[in-house]
């Protein structure tokens, strides 16, 4: 139905059985994870639809990377030293500050004998051990298969790519992944796994993405670099860095992720997974964020084997919307997982076309004289690792202080700063819920239910879902004979059963009916009769690397699923043509769920009352806590996120222990509606709460 009206539900449809929540797809389908066989994507049909989706998805990506808002860009204090001469290029050693106490390391390749501004390429590597400083031992096999043309390129294939790009006239920065080669302050895959780090979106992937952003900053300090011709490439985990960097940083003019982007495995390391990154999306759609800037890919006989048939056609649909279908390409090469010479030569041709190298014809890699890896190491007696180099523990403290300082500085003071603050908090909240208020047309009836007169009241039970989601959200509508158009959405941990006691409405519910309003009570996900259903989180066994991002990067948190159901319910009530106003009330531990949901309702809901239950996200100490919500503390916690509700009326009670409401209060003051926010440390009687809602 395009428009579902509650009035139609009171038409005599005959008795229909209710569907229990235990058939909800969220309970019957295993959680998603990075190694599913297939992540299909059906692109939007129009450019306008894609642009709308792109805006939301870009914010979700930035939130997932800890870059909403951008962290402060501190002085890099770059050190460039130890120039090594080759026939037509030089290699230098580099280290610079990314975050205070954290250093990016790598080698800078520059062409010789070139004039004018030059294109630049950021070269990221994947999970090759000690990659920038390593040698391989696969020459015999590479020679037989045609993977490499020389023993030198086989042993030093990362160097080979950087050297050839330099010979083609590019400035190249070959940086280390965190915990690889000279970047040894933090061990790869260690650190940032604890609950507090996740609550602040301090993750290994976020650190690595920020290092790439700062590497672009570094390239732009090189005088000969053309800021309009910056590319990024890398294979495997370096491919992940390549498409994510290009998606978050518009300064990247062209991206070439090798053997990574596919509709299959999404990236298996913690440096490729972080909360919210792929909830409701996957690598193909994330790569589409780069459009219409050029995007090139290679596939191999691995999870990328079908890239030309699955992934590329969908990307071409998006690029065609911009008249740029020729700016996206993918080529499968029949080799194992690699960044070998045939793959690199596809990359050279791609960048030649889109970064304007000016070379005619297909490019073949030339033999080169590699540099001994020992000579490429950036630290030596004259250039030691700086004394302030931080461990993961120390860096987390630094990042927390920076987040809190940035949040405090954003405290609204007037209309303009309020708009900016609410935009930041709203986008963060939308990303953390991975949801927004749906349209009426997005609501499906799983079972319309039946009208029953109970204790002189009109009641109807029904089960609803979002279209295509397979959810089973049970709701109960209760109204008297004198319904006046005011609807109260009743949210309680015990769900619908909380309305009744001894076959009669509880006093607060009866007060709603007596005042002429109607009630819509809801069994949110895993509340009511199915409230004790198991829900796996970090206990998943899809990887030997236990890490919360493997769950929260693909699935909503439990609290977000409950918010999702509240938003579904709000949309349903809004669709009722006789609804004049909607009020929202949350009881006991459901109060925080209601606050989070209300922040995404705009002006649809009039008044909101919630039992804060003394809750603070600092209380969450376990990934299996039902209130675990990655990023919640980065954005100030429950009361700060509630700032998105201003200037609509809000009553928070039982707030003792819930922390300061400095920014929430400031938001209402900045809106000129301080009287619309009420807070009480004491728990209010339920009838008193209803009287406030319907006064």
pLDDT given for residue 302 in this prediction: 97
Q: Which of 632, 545, 638, 475 is nearest to 35 (CA)?
A: 545
Task: Round to whole Å and give the CA distance between 187 and 279.
Answer: 27
pLDDT given for residue 21 in this prediction: 64
Q: Which residues contact 94 (CB under 8 A, 6 or more apart)?
A: 78, 79, 80, 104, 105, 106, 107, 108, 173, 218, 378
Task: Round to whole Å and give the CA distance between 217 and 551.
Answer: 32
Task: Round to whole Å and give the CA distance between 646 and 666.
Answer: 10
pLDDT given for residue 669 in this prediction: 98
pLDDT exceeds 70 at position 3: no
What is the tens place of the pLDDT at every residue in 226-276? Answer: 999 999 999 999 999 999 999 999 999 999 999 999 999 999 999 999 999
Please answer whether residues 93 and 383 qualify as being in contact, where contact means their C-beta atoms are separated by less than 8 angstroms.
Answer: yes
Task: Round to whole Å and give the CA distance between 129 and 47.
Answer: 42
Segment 455-471 shows an average pLDDT of 92
Supply the mean pLDDT for the chain: 93
Return the structure tokens found at 452: 């029953």
Task: Round to whole Å and give the CA distance between 379 and 377.
Answer: 6
Segment 593-603 shows an average pLDDT of 98
Which range has the top average pLDDT, 13-27, 468-482, 539-553, 631-645? 631-645
| Residue 48 φ/ψ, nearest 5 degrees | -60, -40
What is the tens place of the pLDDT at every residue in 4-15? Answer: 333 322 222 223
| Domain 6-26+420-693: which CATH number of 3.40.50.980, 3.40.640.10, 3.30.460.80, 3.40.50.1820 | 3.40.50.1820
DSSP assignment, residue 439? P
SS3 652: strand
Instruction: Read off the pTM.
Output: 0.94
pLDDT given for residue 16 in this prediction: 30
Please answer whether residues 626 and 611 qualify as being in contact, where contact means their C-beta atoms are separated by less than 8 angstroms.
Answer: no
pLDDT given for residue 558 in this prediction: 94
Please answer whether residues 533 and 526 qualify as being in contact, where contact means their C-beta atoms are separated by less than 8 angstroms.
Answer: yes
Return the structure tokens found at 549: 């991002």
pLDDT band per the 50, 70, 90 thresholds, residue 534: low
What is the tens place of the pLDDT at every residue in 315-365? Answer: 999 999 999 999 999 999 999 999 999 999 999 999 999 999 999 999 999
pLDDT exceeds 70 at position 436: yes
Please answer whether residues 489 and 585 qualify as being in contact, where contact means their C-beta atoms are separated by less than 8 angstroms.
Answer: yes
Segment 82-90 shows an average pLDDT of 97
172 against 136, higher pLDDT: 172
Of the listed ranges 301-305, 356-360, 561-565, 624-628, the one predicted with least confidence: 624-628
How many residues are there in the chain? Answer: 695
pLDDT band per the 50, 70, 90 thresholds, residue 396: very high
Domain limits, CATH 3.40.50.1820, in the chain? 6-26+420-693, 62-375
DSSP assignment, residue 574? H
Segment 631-656 shows an average pLDDT of 98
CA distances in angstroms from 98 to 105, 207, 224, 532, 634, listed in the order given: 10, 9, 22, 45, 19
Segment 495-511 shows an average pLDDT of 94
pLDDT band per the 50, 70, 90 thresholds, residue 528: confident
544 against 223, higher pLDDT: 223
SS3 80: strand
Tally Cβ neighbours within 10 Å of residue 496: 21
pLDDT given for residue 191 in this prediction: 86
pLDDT given for residue 100 in this prediction: 98
pLDDT band per the 50, 70, 90 thresholds, residue 563: very high
Burial of 239 (0-12, 13-18, 19+ CB in 10 A): buried
Q: What is the largest CA-CA distance in the chain?
A: 93
Task: Round to whole Å and give the CA distance between 365 and 352.
Answer: 13
Return the structure tokens found at 601: 């309702």
Burial of 456 (0-12, 13-18, 19+ CB in 10 A): exposed
Burial of 69 (0-12, 13-18, 19+ CB in 10 A): middle
Task: Round to whole Å and give the CA distance between 544 and 550.
Answer: 11
H-state helical runs in 515-661: 549-552, 558-575, 591-598, 638-641
Distance of CA 43 to the CA centre of its chain: 19
Q: Which of 598, 591, 524 is nearest to 561 (CA)?
A: 524
pLDDT given for residue 455 in this prediction: 75
Segment 642-658 shows an average pLDDT of 97
Query: 62-375 has which fold?
Result: Rossmann fold (3.40.50)
């Amino acid at each position: 139905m395009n428009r579902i009206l509650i009035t139609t539900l009171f038409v005599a449809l005959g008795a229909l059985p209710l569907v229990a929540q235990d058939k909800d797809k969220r309970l019957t389908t295993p959680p998603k994870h990075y190694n599913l066989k297939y992540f299909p994507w059906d692109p939007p049909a129009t450019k306008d639809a894609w642009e709308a989706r792109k805006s939301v998805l870009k914010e979700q990506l930035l939130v997932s990377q800890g870059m909403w808002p951008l962290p402060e860009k501190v002085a890099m204090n770059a050190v460039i030293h130890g120039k090594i001469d080759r026939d037509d290029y030089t290699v230098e050693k580099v280290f610079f500050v990314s975050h205070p106490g954290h250093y990016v390391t790598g080698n800078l390749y520059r062409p010789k004998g070139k004039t004018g501004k030059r294109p630049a390429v950021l070269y990221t590597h994947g999970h090759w051990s000690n990659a920038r400083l390593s040698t391989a031992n696969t020459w015999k096999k590479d020679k037989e298969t045609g993977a490499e043309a020389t023993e030198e390129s086989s042993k030093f294939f990362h160097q080979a790519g950087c050297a050839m790009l330099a010979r083609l006239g590019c400035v190249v920065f070959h940086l280390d992944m965190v915990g690889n080669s000279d970047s040894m302050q933090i061990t790869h895959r260690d650190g940032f796994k604890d609950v507090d780090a996740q609550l602040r979106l301090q993750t290994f992937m976020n650190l690595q993405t920020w290092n790439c952003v700062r590497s672009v900053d570094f390239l732009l300090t090189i005088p000969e670099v053309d800021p309009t011709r910056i590319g990024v490439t890398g294979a495997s985990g370096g491919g992940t860095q390549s498409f994510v960097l290009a998606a978050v940083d518009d300064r990247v003019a062209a991206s070439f992720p090798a053997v990574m982007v596919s509709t299959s495995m999404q990236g298996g390391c913690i440096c490729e997974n972080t909360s919210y990154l792929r909830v409701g999306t996957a690598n193909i759609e994330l790569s589409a964020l780069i459009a219409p800037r050029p995007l090139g890919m290679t596939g191999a006989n691995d999870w990328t084997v079908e890239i030309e048939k699955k992934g590329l056609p969908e990307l071409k649909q998006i690029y065609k919307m911009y008249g740029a279908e020729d700016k996206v390409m993918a080529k499968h090469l029949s080799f194992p997982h690699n960044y070998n010479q045939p793959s690199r030569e596809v990359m050279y041709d791609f960048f030649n076309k889109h970064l304007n190298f000016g070379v005619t014809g297909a490019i073949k890699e030339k033999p080169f004289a590699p540099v001994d890896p020992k000579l490429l190491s950036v630290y030596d007696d004259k250039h030691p690792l700086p004394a302030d180099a931080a461990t993961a523990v120390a860096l987390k403290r630094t990042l927390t202080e920076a987040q809190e300082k940035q949040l405090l500085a954003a405290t609204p003071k007037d209309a303009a700063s309020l708009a900016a603050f609410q935009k930041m908090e709203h986008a963060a909240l939308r990303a953390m819920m991975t949801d927004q208020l749906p349209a009426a047309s997005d609501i499906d009836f799983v079972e319309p239910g039946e009208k029953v007169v109970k204790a002189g009241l009109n009641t109807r039970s029904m089960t609803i879902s979002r279209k295509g989601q397979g959810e089973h959200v049970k709701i109960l509508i209760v109204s008297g004979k004198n319904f006046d158009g005011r609807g109260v959405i009743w949210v309680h941990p015990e769900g619908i059963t909380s309305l009744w006691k001894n076959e009669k409405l509880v006093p607060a519910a009866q007060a709603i009916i007596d005042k002429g309003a109607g009630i819509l009570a809801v069994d949110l996900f895993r509340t009511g009769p199915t409230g004790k259903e198991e829900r796996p989180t970090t206990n998943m066994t899809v990887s030997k690397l236990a890490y919360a991002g493997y769950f929260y990067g693909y699935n909503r948190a439990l609290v977000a699923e409950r918010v999702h159901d509240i938003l579904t319910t709000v949309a349903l009530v809004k669709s009722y043509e006789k609804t004049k106003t909607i009020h929202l009330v949350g009881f006991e531990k459901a109060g925080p769920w209601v606050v989070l949901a209300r922040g995404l309702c705009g002006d649809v809901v009039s008044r909101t009352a919630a039992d804060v239950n003394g809750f603070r996200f600092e209380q969450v100490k376990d990934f299996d806590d039902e209130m675990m919500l990655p990023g919640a503390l980065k954005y100030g916690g429950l009361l700060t996120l509630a700032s998105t509700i201003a200037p609509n009326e809000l009553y928070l009670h039982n707030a003792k222990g819930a922390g300061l409401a400095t920014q929430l209060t400031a938001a209402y003051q900045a809106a000129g509606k301080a009287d619309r926010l009420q807070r009480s440390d004491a728990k209010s009687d339920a009838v008193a709460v209803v009287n406030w809602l319907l006064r």
